[in-house]
């Protein structure tokens, strides 16, 4: 097992060391998957997007420079791939239905995974996509605000604002996870949470 | 865990911080960072207990079925098939790097270009086969080139055809012209040897006489044609006086290329089969050299061409 940094492992992999990639993969396998799953809310779609993201990472390995952060580079690729996935969705495929489907399964999951997890998942899925994106880049990717702003293509102030709204909503959920999460009123500069607005945003 | 903030208040805080200057913004940013850290801790507390188990399972090589069987686990991880697919993809990408395919593409491109050039060159050479033979003959030497197998000549013909070829009693003007052309070539070859010009003239005369005899024997002589042949020979003599080197290279090539009547047997001298005496001399030399079979064959050929020519005593028994 390699103990080097992500960037060193990526360099080794570019030179043909497959074991380095395996180590890198084991480090980001779970966070990247959850990042995507929290975005789309549906495991089948998340599986496709997850595999596609890694495919893009592998294909773009020669474009990676060791001077940059591998984590930021990887999440940027994954984020762009997720947005492409939204764009590719057929018009009759409504993400809201998928999310609702996901919500409908929650009671069963609550039985297995605990109420707190389910409540937090639901709260994340209830976030507007812009807020969900930035908060997951933080919670799963561990990225700072400047990097999040760079990845999402907005200025840092906008990123902070989105994070602030997301934090407030999720904190409310973690405080009262046993209570049903009441959707917060939409922020003036953020769109509604339905999938039509999500897709419109990415189109 | 901190008390959740009202988003409206939070938004107004952001707006206030933007209006009131950088110091307040730093405070707000610090507050946001603190809230993010707090949320992150809660998030990890909620999810990572189970995820740690998953991560340990993955590192230990256990697969999902086994992992899901744990009571506290959550299946929020990619399926094993996807793990395998991604790792295979990564392996294949390294084993067959893009660079090698680019190099292979370059190699194929170079090979295709080279093949195209070779094909084009061979086509050009096929269209102009005499181009590589533009060698001017050296003074005093005749250009004798091996004939290509595809080139036909009088020597390669069967006796009947050769007789037809050598016939001096043509039935039409075309045949007459062909015969004249043949004579001209034969003579021009000889003209490449300046020292033998006078002997050549004598041989031409002898040949003419012999043909006259044959023509008379066949009762098919054409006086007008003979006259034209004579005129042609006169012209040939004139041309033979001029040095060979002064001839254009194409003409020299044509002469050497179509030198039908001369054949050489190794170190034996060339024989002119248009001249019966010379041919008989040659047969006699073969006989004297002990090459009986060759001499017999030559004699048979001779008889095919000159059936009525009076033979010396030494060949009278062969007839």
- The answer to whether residue A16 neighbours chain B at the CB level (below 8 Å) is yes
Task: Name the average pLDDT for chain B.
Answer: 64
Q: Most A CBs within 10 Å: which of B72, B94, B100, as the mutation test of the A interface?
A: B94
Ordered DSSP codes for chain B:
-PPPPPHHHHHHHHHHHHHH-HHHHHHHHHHHHHHHHHHHHHHHHHHHHHHHHHHHHHHTT--HHHHHTSTT----S--HHHHHHHHHHHHHHHHS-HHHHHHHHHHHHHHHHHHHHHHHHHHHHHH-GGGGG--PPPTT-----PPPTT---TTTS-HHHHHHHH-SS-SSHHHHHHHHHHHHHHHHHHHT-GGGHHHHHHHHHHHHHHHHHHHHHHT---HHHHHHHHHHHHHHHHHHHS-GGGS-HHHHHHHHHT-TTEE--TTSPPEETT-HHHHHHHHHHHHHTT-HHHHHHHHHHHHHH-TTPPPPHHHHTT-
Residues of A in contact with B29 (CB under 8 A): 145, 160
ipTM exceeding cut-off 0.95 for this assembly:
no
Residue B131 Cα, gap to closest chain A Cα (Å): 54
On the question of pLDDT at B164 being above 90, the answer is: no
Contact A21 B59 (CB under 8 A): no
- Residue A89 contacts B, CB cutoff 8 Å: no
Judged by a CB distance cut-off of 8 A, whether residue A139 touches chain B is yes
Question: What does the pLDDT look like over B277-316, one tens digit per residue?
Answer: 888 888 888 888 888 888 888 888 988 888 888 888 888 7
pLDDT of B243 reads 47
CB contact under 8 A, A138 and B40: yes
Distance from the Cα of A150 to chain B's closest Cα (Å) equals: 17
- pLDDT greater at residue A60 or residue B47: A60
pLDDT: which is higher, B34 or B195:
B34
Interface-testing mutation among B60, B90, B98, with chain A (most A C-beta atoms within 10 A): B90
Distance of residue A109 Cα from the nearest chain B Cα, in angstroms: 9
Q: What is the pLDDT of residue A33?
A: 93
Positions of chain A with pLDDT under 50: 91-104, 106-107, 109-110, 178-196, 203
A vs B, Cβ pairs < 8 A, gives 137
Lowest mean pLDDT among A36-45, A158-167, B118-127, B240-249: B240-249
Mean pLDDT of B150-163: 51
pTM above 0.90, yes or no: no
- Could B74 and A47 be called an inter-chain contact, meaning their C-beta atoms sit closer than 8 Å? no
Using the Cβ of A178 and the Cβ atoms of chain B, whether some distance falls under 8 Å is answered with: no
Pick the more confident residue, B193 or B272: B272
């Amino acid at each position: 097992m390699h103990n080097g940094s992500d960037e060193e492992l990526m360099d080794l992999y570019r030179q043909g060391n497959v074991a380095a990639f395996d180590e890198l993969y084991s480090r980001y396998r779970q966070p990247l998957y959850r990042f995507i799953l929290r975005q789309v809310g549906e495991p089948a779609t998340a599986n496709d997007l997850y595999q596609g993201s890694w495919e893009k990472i592998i294909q773009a390995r020669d474009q990676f420079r060791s001077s940059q952060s591998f984590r930021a580079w990887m999440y940027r690729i994954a984020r762009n791939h997720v947005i492409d996935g939204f764009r590719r969705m057929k018009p009759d495929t409504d993400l809201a239905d998928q999310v609702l489907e996901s919500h409908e399964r929650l009671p069963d999951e609550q039985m297995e995974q605990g109420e707190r997890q389910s409540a937090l998942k639901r709260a994340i899925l209830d976030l507007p996509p812009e807020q969900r994106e930035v908060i997951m880049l933080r919670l799963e990717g561990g990225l700072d605000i400047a990097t999040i702003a760079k990845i999402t293509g907005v200025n840092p102030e906008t990123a902070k604002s989105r994070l602030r709204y997301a934090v407030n909503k999720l904190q409310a959920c973690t405080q009262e996870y046993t209570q049903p999460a009441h959707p917060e009123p939409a922020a003036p500069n953020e769109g509604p949470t339905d999938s039509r607005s999500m897709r419109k945003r990415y189109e | 865990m901190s008390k959740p903030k009202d988003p409206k208040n939070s938004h107004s805080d952001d707006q206030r911080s933007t209006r009131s200057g950088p110091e307040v913004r730093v405070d707000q940013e610090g507050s946001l960072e603190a809230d993010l850290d707090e949320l992150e801790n809660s998030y990890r507390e909620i999810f990572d207990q189970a995820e740690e188990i998953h991560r340990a399972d993955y590192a230990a090589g256990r697969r999902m079925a086994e992992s899901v069987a744990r009571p506290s686990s959550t299946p929020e991880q990619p399926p094993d098939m996807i793990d395998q697919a991604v790792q295979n993809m990564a392996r294949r990408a390294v084993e067959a790097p893009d660079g090698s395919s680019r190099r292979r593409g370059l190699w194929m491109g170079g090979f295709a270009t080279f093949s195209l050039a070779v094909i084009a060159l061979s086509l050009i050479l096929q269209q102009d086969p005499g181009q590589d033979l533009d060698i001017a003959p050296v003074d005093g030497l005749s250009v004798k080139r091996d004939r290509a197998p595809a080139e036909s000549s009088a020597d390669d013909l069967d006796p009947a055809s050769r007789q037809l070829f050598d016939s001096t009693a043509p039935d039409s003007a075309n045949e007459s012209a062909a015969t004249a052309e043949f004579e001209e070539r034969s003579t021009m070859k000889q003209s490449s040897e300046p020292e033998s010009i006078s002997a050549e003239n004598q041989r031409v005369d002898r040949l003419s006489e012999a043909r006259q005899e044959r023509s008379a024997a066949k009762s098919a002589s054409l006086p007008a044609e003979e006259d034209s042949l004579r005129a042609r020979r006169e012209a040939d003599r004139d041309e033979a006086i001029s040095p060979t080197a002064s001839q254009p290279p194409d003409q020299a090539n044509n002469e050497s290329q179509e030198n039908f009547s001369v054949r050489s047997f190794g170190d034996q001298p060339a024989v002119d089969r248009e001249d019966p005496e010379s041919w008989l001399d040659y047969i006699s030399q073969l006989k004297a050299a002990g090459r009986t079979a060759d001499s017999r064959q030559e004699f048979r050929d001779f008889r095919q061409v000159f059936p009525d020519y009076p033979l010396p005593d030494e060949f009278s028994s062969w007839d």
